[in-house]
Structure 1
């Protein structure tokens, strides 16, 4: 991941956190389940504060997701994000990440976008939305002509199909939105978040 290590796990929880006050409990729940990194998406007003809290007070490697502009890159990095993910490929976002020295994983859906990412110096990309783009078979198709690329499939990945994605040699890690699903955050069910995390880490370790 552009020299970012994921702390020994291939699972990246993708979280839209509605309240920054939940950040520490969430971080503890994920850590207890064996997760060592997290992607906080910039989809809520609480996102930057949550990134700052986790970056300062947890051992998780914190990334910022759904980053769409150069300004958001700067805000996320200032908050403590150690890597950046975006749903699509933006040369402006990639360039700003490179300028500030933070690893970036832009989203791609086509060979054309993947080639643009390579021309921008990026060799790890987010494959999004993964299931709708053909899942593991779609990744295999793209990795044929682009053998140097690593993929982070996100979108439609679940515990049921996780093993199939991780079995692909070109897959670096997966985006796991089911670990801290909105209903679990709303109800404060951190025990279930830990249980789901443990199950996912067990699959990844096989």
Structure 2
């Protein structure tokens, strides 16, 4: 089952160069925001569990935006994992990894993108059967140069780096052979969300969808 989940996760992440990382402060924003992102070419999104309405937002988007592929991020506990899966999340993302999360992932059919930064963490996740990992916080942990240095000794592992990535440095990551996609919040700026400027979000998504990968 783990191989099947890996293939499903790879299909989602390789479908677009940027995965929008979203913080939903107002539940009313969830549907128009994800619709705008999907229309701009970024249907797969990560809704983070950083607000009280996050799980409700996931449910709402799953129900009302069929073109979206909804992931749940900032998953810290087994309870978080189970709640996100019940809400309908199609993939689950954690900033780091614990045994509790690994156990929850084993019990679930939802693909899991666990976080790892150091070579030891990456090797441990590889031993658990995970070949696609989140690299967070990317810029603070060494950035594209650090990820590039992992490509030769750990060629079977690919990453979705997130944290501090913007249009200014996105190409540095996307050019690496071990990066499948990047996560970014710049496609959904707070100011545009506050104003309900979904056209601006759609345009930002369209620009991000055109970013080239190696």
Q: TM-score, normalised by structure 2?
A: 0.91
Distance in 2 (CA, whole Å) between partners of 1:38 and 1:174 is 11
What SS does the aligned partner of 1:107 have?
coil
Distance in 2 (CA, whole Å) between partners of 1:44 and 1:136 is 29
CA deviations 1:127-163 (Å, max 9, x no partner) are 1111112221111112221110010000011111111
What SS does the aligned partner of 2:61 have?
helix
Q: Alignment partner for residue 19 of structure 2, among 12, 15, 23?
A: 12
Match of 1:74 in 2: 82
Match of 1:30 in 2: 37
Distance in 2 (CA, whole Å) between partners of 1:2 and 1:184 is 34
Superposed displacement of residue 115, structure 1? 1.4
The answer (yes or no) to whether the contact 2:175–2:213 under 8 Å persists in 1 is no
Q: Alignment partner for residue 191 of structure 1, among 181, 187, 199?
A: 199
What SS does the aligned partner of 2:71 have?
strand
Structure 1 gap ranges (5+) = none
The answer (yes or no) to whether the contact 1:91–1:120 under 8 Å persists in 2 is no
After the TM superposition, which residues 43-82 of structure 1 pair with which residues of structure 2 at under 5 Å, given as runs? Answer: 43-58=50-65, 59-82=67-90
Structure 2 gap ranges (5+) = none
Match of 1:131 in 2: 139
Distance in 2 (CA, whole Å) between partners of 1:140 and 1:205 is 14
What SS does the aligned partner of 2:186 have?
coil
Paired residue total: 206
Runs (4 or more) in structure 1 with deviation over 3 Å come to none
Match of 2:209 in 1: 201
Q: Alignment partner for residue 106 of structure 2, among 98, 106, 116?
A: 98
Superposed displacement of residue 90, structure 1? 1.5
What SS does the aligned partner of 2:24 have?
coil
The answer (yes or no) to whether the contact 2:50–2:74 under 8 Å persists in 1 is yes
Deviates more, 1:97-106 or 1:32-41: 97-106
Match of 1:112 in 2: 120
CA deviations 1:146-201 (Å, max 9, x no partner) are 11001000001111111121111110110011111223222222122111111111
Q: TM-score, normalised by structure 1?
A: 0.94
